[in-house]
Amino acid sequence: MAEGDASTRMPMADNPLFAGINDDEKERLNKLAEPASVNAGDHIIEQGEIGRQFVLLVDGTADVVRDGEVVAHLEPGDFFGEMALLGMADGVFKRTASVVATTDCTLEVMASAAFDTALANFPEAAAAIRLRAMERWADNRP
């Protein structure tokens, strides 16, 4: 993933997950995320790899691919990577699916330590992320 310019962006903090936080908190949150870009066809994350990042899709589209089959389509504002960071893949931190860019994409990426900090500092967002992760986990069970 290529890095981008952080000078005027705040897409992570502007995501509805973080609605209601004040400007100072938005600035703090924004410092936890790094911009990145990928090209159409690039694999953003790979099923089975160890999860080290939480990713917000800022611009572009991507497919979620599990065991070679497209199971979901992602659009701007969608996020992924939380299940592995929360240890929901059978108690280990492996990716449950791949995410493949279907167009050129702009991303905001949080490393696992920054993700943990965001969860600790923004409890409403943490609850929403955990709820979405539990829904995804339930959908993935055999």
Domains contained in the chain, number: 1
pLDDT at 126: 78
- Whether pLDDT at 55 is above 60: yes
Two tokens, residue 83 = 């299940």
43-45 and 53-59 strand pairing: unpaired
Stretch 23-32: mean pLDDT: 84
H or E stretch covering 129: helix 123-140
Beta-strand relationship, 53-59 and 105-111: antiparallel
Which CATH number do you get for residue 16?
2.60.120.10
d(Cα 75, Cα 78) in Å, to the nearest integer? Answer: 6
Indicate yes or no: pTM above 0.85.
no
Least confident of 3-7, 17-21, 100-104, 130-134: 3-7
Range of the domain at 112: 2-140
Tens digits of residue pLDDT in 60-94 = 999 999 999 999 999 998 989 887 777 654 555 77
